[in-house]
Each structure stands twice: as C-alpha cells, then as structure tokens.
Amino acid sequence: MGIRMSGLLSGMDTEAIVKELMSAQSMKKNKVVKAKTKLEWTQTKWSELNTKLTGLYNNFVSKMQLSTAYKTKKTTVSDATKASVAAKTAAANGSYSMKIKNIATSQYLTGAKIDASASDKLADIDSSLLNKEISITVGTKTTKFAVTADTTLKDFTSALQSAGLNANFDDAQKRLFISSKESGLENAFSITTSGITDAEVNGRKALCDAAGYSSMTSSNKKLFDSAMEKLQTSGVGTDDYNSALNTIAKLSYETKKTSAENAATTYVKAKIYSEKYSEYEEKAKEKLKDTYFEEDGSLKPGKTQEAYDAAVAKQADADTTSYVGTQLNDSDVKLRINEAAFSGKTEADMADFSEEAVKKYYGETVTAFTGMDGVDEESEKKRLTSYVQDYASISDRDEVLAGSALSGLGMADIAVDADGNVTVNGGANDSSNSTIPKGMALIEASDSKIILNGAELTSSSAVVSANGLDITLTGLTKTDEPITFSVTNDTESVYNSIKSFLKEYNSVMKEMNTLYNADSAKGYEPLTSEEKEAMSDDDVKLWEDKIKNSLLRSDSTLSSIMSSMRSAMMSTVEYDGKTYALSSFGIITSTDYTEGGLLHIYGDADDSVYSAKDDKLKKALDEDPDAVIATLTGVFGKLRETMSQKMSATKYSSSLTFYNDIKMKSDVKSYDDEIEDWEDRLAEMEDSYYSKFTAMETALAKLQSQQSSMSSLFGN
C-alpha cells in the first residue's frame, strides 16, 4: 500500500475516520474468525477424546470380549532350578511329573593348536591340503570348498560361515573355533575331505583363469563357485548347464568391465597428473622459497637443498593429486575415462607420462590394458563355452583319501548321520580314537529329552513345547527323582485384567461426563489480537479455557456415545438357562447418580466405598468361571459392537472416528474461504473510503484555487 496524504486542505483526520469506519465493518469478519477458532478448538477436543475412546477399544474392549482373556494359566514347579513352565490357554489343568534326561546342546569343534595365522595360505600350513575338497554339511545342505594354492585360512572360515556355521581362527589361541548357530541334532554339522583329480584341478584352473576369477569381488566369487558346483553334476546342454554358463559369462563380463574402468581411470588420472605436475611444482618452489633461502639466494641456516627439493616434491604431489581429484567429476574427464575403457591403451599411449606420474600410479613401469570394444556378455559366453563344456564333461572329480586332509589345521573329518551318530575320521569321538589330533575337542549336538507323565518328548532347543506348555529346561533330574509341576487357572491375573479394563472404562466415561456436563460459557467468545493485548497472559488463558471446556457441553454426538456405551454395559446374557449381567458378579454402578454410570467392583480393595463388600467376582471366578466368562464376553462383546458402529465411516466421519471429522474439516475450509472473501471486501472498502476523501480534497483544492483567482481579480 502506498503512502496516503489526506486531510491537508480539509483539516480532517482522514486516517482516524477511515479506521473507525473499517472497524465497524471488520466486526463482521471477526465474527467469522471467532467461529472458526471455536470450531478448531472443538476439533482438538474431539480428537483428544477420540484417541482415548479408540485406545479403550483397541487395548481393552477388543481383548476382553474374547474368552481367551479369561483363561490365563499359572504354574507351580517343585524345583525351579531344574525347569520353568509357562502355560498357554490350551494347557490342561492338573499335576504333571517330569524327568529331564538331557538339555539340547549345539555342536562345538575346537581345533588343536597350529602354528599359523588367519592370513596364511592353507597350502603353506600343510602342503597336503592343496587340491583337496572340503564338504561342509549343515542340516541337509552341503557346500563344497576347493583348496587352491591361493586359499587362506580366512577363506576357509569364511566358507564355514557362508555354509551357516559360526567359525573363527583365534590368532592368540592359534585354534579354529567352529560351532552350529542353533542347538539340536537338526543343526549338527559334518566337515569331511576328499581328494581332487588332476582333471578336476586342471579344468577348474583353466575355467577360473579364463573368467578372471582372481580379479572378482568376494560376492561374485561366491556366485562363480556356486555355478561351478552346478556344473559338476549338470552334464552338457542341460538347463543347469546353460544357467551356469550364463552366470559365468555375466561374471566374467562384469569383472572385465570393472578392470577396464579402473585401468582407464588410472590412465586418465596419470595423464592429468603429468600435464599439471610441472605447474604445481613451480608454485611449490615459489611458496617454499622464503622458508629455505635468504634474499640473496643462499640457503638459510639449518636448511639443505635436498630438504627443499623433497618439500617441493611433496607439496607439488599433494596439490596435483588434489587437482586430479577435483577433475574426476568433470563431464569431459568422465568422457575421456569412458573412451579409454572402451578402446584400451598401449604402452605407447603412455610414453609421454612424466616420471612422477608413472611412479605414483604404476610403480616402476606403465601397464597397458585391453578395452571393452567388442566385449559383451554374449561374446564372453562364446569365448568361455569351451572351458565350461570341458569342465562340465569331467567324469572323475574326487579321490578317496587314506586319512583326513584337515589334520594340518588341527582338525579331523567329522561325519554326522541322519540319526545323529557321530564319527571322527571314521571312528569314535573318544580317547580310544588315536587319529584325532591331540588338543582337538568335539562336543556333539543333542536334543532336549524329557519324560513327561511317562511319555518321551524331545526338542532341538532348551524349550520343550507340548499341549500348551512351554517347558524351559535348566538342569537335569536324578534318575529316581522326577520333579512335578501343576497348572491351574490364574484367577488373580484374570481378576486384575477385569479390574484394569473397568478402570480404563471409568476413566474415559468420567472424561465424557465432564465434557458433557461442563459449565456454560455463554457470553464468552475467542479473543481478537487487540483484546488479548489488553489482558494479562493468565487472564487470556482463563478466558480461553472457559470456552474450550464448554465446547462439548450437551453435545448430541457425545450424548449418543455415552448412552450407547452405558446401555451395552447394562445388557444381559443367557447362559445355562439363567440370565446374567455384570451386577450378577458384583460389578455395579454407584447409587450416586452424579458419577454418570461409573462401574465399581464389590470387594475391590482399592475402592474406598465398596471394599468392605463381599467380592462376588473373585468368588465366581473360582467357583463358576464359565458363567463369568460367558457373561463378560457377552457384555463386552456388545460394547465392542456398539463402539464399532459409533466409529464406522460415514459421509461426515472417517473410520475409527467417533465424531464428524470430515464435516468439521469442510466447515473450517468454508470459514477460511469466507475470511478470505471478507479480507478482499474490506480492502476494497478501505480503498473506496480513501478514494472518496481524496476526491473531496481535490474538490476543495479547486475551490480554493478559484477563490484565489477571484480575489486577485478584485485586488484582494
């Protein structure tokens, strides 16, 4: 808005007059603003209440209307040092006798001490391991691991881990530690060895070399190994064969592509380094000159030419390297890298590299590389087909060994059959077996085994589950000393659940009573900014709280919810030819009508009014639990149905909402539109008023001018 200069001729306070005129008109807009504010406060009140109602519904009503909520069990064990028992609702009440014969164990293998480290190659630790195959079986899955000249002890433990075992070589203890991840016979593992024929060794090496196996990532090596394992049994031309061939071709292509890209990146970096090094070398010389030389060019005391040259070289290298790094994101440089990766580079292409660049990026001499021109997965497939076919055609791959190839690793061949029987190097797992390396220890996997009421039960873990019982084993029983435990209904727990539910119900009902019966706020309206400025913060809060607390007073929607919920809680249930209600079990409303339908339990120790009454609910839970369950599930089911209906989606309300939230949002939007219209209208009115006063001032100016002219004519 521009600056308005008015009232100069008329002497009238135009600003004050317009402000007064606009104040009267603004009252109409303020009325809409206040109505919107009250509606937004009402939305907040309903939202808060809705949260409490849905919390009651989800956390209590939905659970307490199910019979399972009243079938909580409790157990008592004669010797808690041997076992603990948790009973589900399906568990049969009664006394149980139990003998604990065994607690499930995991399989543990601790190798004998060896003079090695994790990075050592297996063939260096024991040359007889070269070209051997290690079969690792966990459960029903077998993984094969071939030992090559490059295989390290860490590679072996990684293979064990990939097969599903815990495995580690402890450099301090110099031992292998291997164990199953879970207890029980079903998780037992076998580790056995066999020899590899020359045909297998040569075929494997030829295929690996052709595909660039040594340059592959660890994850791609696993995929390659899996494909080769598939070829060992696939034959030629089968689906498995073609699948393995495609995988190997893809991995070979990816490896070549990565190698070419890395080589191209190195080439371009060296190229840029060569081009820029001398420039940064000159800058380094200039930068360091004052540190090493006097003004006359002589060396400063304690400084040497060699130290200066070294400092210059270091600074120049750092600055040039930094520059190279910044250039790698340049689109032209990326294009140069892509072109080099595609075409490849010869040693002749690198002949102009500076000595510093060659030393930094290549060491002693530059390395040529082949590009990806003409190379794709299909071409790799054609190139590798003969290698894959030769490998898949090998008929004799394994050789039977006279003994275990693992002795050099402080281990032995361990085999576990389907029944859990264990052999070590073909013999027993005890001191009578002289083939077991001295210092190696094997703990066999086992299942938990108990005799429950005369029947033998097993489990792969320390928890035996049967017929609704979860029995956690912690100790063995003596042969003739079984332990006992009992399962009974947990009346106290059920009672407390009912009590907690009623407490939450009362809390929500009390909140609704308070809102519905709130004091009237007649004559109170939301304050404008000007009105707030004239009051203290405390007074403003009291004023607004007075309005907010009364917003749901005598609300018809709230009344309907309260009435329906009370009605549901007063409903009756037919069971076994009799009619029951909550009051049948001492759950009643107070004689004090001002409570508005809150519920109490006769005999509740926490209820000061009714604690002295006989506890009919607890007695009924002990003596006639089925009648209690039938009544409470029926009544609370009715409450659930009632609340579900009240919060179902309608044209005006969303699902899970007890009030007309959609309608309220629409009304707020309408108020916003109306307020915006009023603001536009008021702005137009204000401009109109000022225009009229401006016109009046203009007319007065003309009149004054005419009077001046008249006066001059008459000589005044």
Per residue in 439-464, pLDDT (tens digit) is 999 999 999 999 999 999 999 999 99
Asked if residues 67 and 633 have their Cβ atoms less than 8 Å apart, the reply is yes
- For 620-647, what is the mean pLDDT? 95
Task: Read off the tokens for 474.
Answer: 């912690």
The per-residue pLDDT for 13 is: 62
- For 155-161, what is the mean pLDDT? 96
CA distance 566 to 560: 10
CA distance 220 to 710: 107
Q: What share of the chain is helix, strand, coil (3-state, %, to 5)?
A: 55, 15, 30
Q: Which residue is listed with tokens 């604990």?
A: 100
Per residue in 466-518, pLDDT (tens digit) is 999 999 999 999 988 999 999 999 999 999 999 999 999 999 999 999 999 99
Per residue in 96-122, pLDDT (tens digit) is 999 999 999 999 999 999 999 999 999
Identify the CATH assignment for 105-197+399-446 out of 3.40.50, 3.30.70, 1.20.1070, 2.60.40: 2.60.40
Q: At what angle do helices 331-343 and 239-292 cross, to 10 degrees?
A: 130
- For 68-92, what is the mean pLDDT? 93
The per-residue pLDDT for 716 is: 52
CA distance 217 to 75: 56
Q: How confident is the model at residue 693 (pLDDT cuts 50, 70, 90)?
A: low
CB atoms under 10 Å from CB of 145, counted, come to 21
Per residue in 193-219, pLDDT (tens digit) is 988 888 888 998 999 999 999 999 989
Backbone phi, then psi, for 656, in 5-degree steps?
60, 30
Cβ-proximal residues to 408 (8 Å cutoff; 6+ apart), any chain: 114, 122, 125, 126, 128, 129
Q: Which residue is listed with tokens 């007890």?
A: 658
Alpha carbons within 13 A on the beta-carbon side of 534? 5
Q: At what angle do helices 218-234 and 377-392 cross, to 10 degrees?
A: 50
CA distance 436 to 506: 73
The per-residue pLDDT for 710 is: 66
Task: Read off the tokens for 712.
Answer: 């001059």
Q: How confident is the model at residue 552 (pLDDT cuts 50, 70, 90)?
A: very high
Task: Read off the tokens for 465.
Answer: 């589950």
pLDDT top residue among 612 and 6: 612
Asked if residues 68 and 505 have their Cβ atoms less than 8 Å apart, the reply is no
Whether residue 692 is predicted with pLDDT greater than 80 in this model: the reply is no
Task: Read off the tokens for 612.
Answer: 């002295």
Coil, strand or helix at 242 = helix
What letters, b where the CB count within 10 A reaches 16 and e where it falls short, cover 658-692? bbbbeebeebeeebeeebeebeeeeeeebeebbee
AA letter at 662: I
Which segment of 500-514, 527-541, 674-688 scores lowest on mean pLDDT? 674-688
Coil, strand or helix at 428 = coil
The per-residue pLDDT for 181 is: 97
CA distance 465 to 102: 15
Whether residue 1 is predicted with pLDDT greater than 50 in this model: the reply is no
Q: At what angle do helices 198-211 and 218-234 cross, to 10 degrees?
A: 140
Whether residue 5 is predicted with pLDDT greater than 50 in this model: the reply is no
For residue 281, list its beta bridge partners: none
The per-residue pLDDT for 161 is: 96
Q: Give the DSSP letter of residue 195.
A: E
The per-residue pLDDT for 402 is: 72
First to last CA, the chain: 42
Backbone phi, then psi, for 460, in 5-degree steps?
-80, -10
pLDDT top residue among 695 and 605: 605
The per-residue pLDDT for 27 is: 78
Whether residue 8 is predicted with pLDDT greater than 50 in this model: the reply is no
Coil, strand or helix at 84 = strand
Q: Give the DSSP letter of residue 61.
A: I
Per residue in 377-434, pLDDT (tens digit) is 999 999 999 999 999 999 888 777 778 899 999 999 999 998 899 999 999 999 999 9
Coil, strand or helix at 164 = coil
Asked if residues 73 and 488 have their Cβ atoms less than 8 Å apart, the reply is yes
Asked if residues 172 and 178 have their Cβ atoms less than 8 Å apart, the reply is no
Asked if residues 575 and 605 have their Cβ atoms less than 8 Å apart, the reply is no
Whether residue 41 is predicted with pLDDT greater than 80 in this model: the reply is yes
Q: What is the 3-state secondary structure (H, E, C) of 639-669?
A: HHHHHHHHCCCCCCCCCCCCCCHHHHHHHHH
Cβ-proximal residues to 552 (8 Å cutoff; 6+ apart), any chain: 42, 45, 46, 49, 515, 516, 518, 558
The per-residue pLDDT for 3 is: 43
- For 270-277, what is the mean pLDDT? 95
User: Is the full-model pTM beyond 0.85?
Assistant: no
CB atoms under 10 Å from CB of 331, counted, come to 7
Whether residue 525 is predicted with pLDDT greater than 70 in this model: the reply is yes
Q: Residue 420: left (phi > 0), alpha (psi -120 to 50), or beta?
A: left
Residue range(s) occupied by CATH 2.60.40 in the chain:
105-197+399-446
Task: Read off the tokens for 27.
Answer: 């009252």
AA letter at 521: A
Q: How confident is the model at residue 267 (pLDDT cuts 50, 70, 90)?
A: very high
Task: Read off the tokens for 700.
Answer: 């007065």
- Give me the chain's average pLDDT, please: 91
Whether residue 587 is predicted with pLDDT greater than 70 in this model: the reply is yes
Per residue in 123-157, pLDDT (tens digit) is 999 998 998 999 999 988 999 888 989 999 999 99
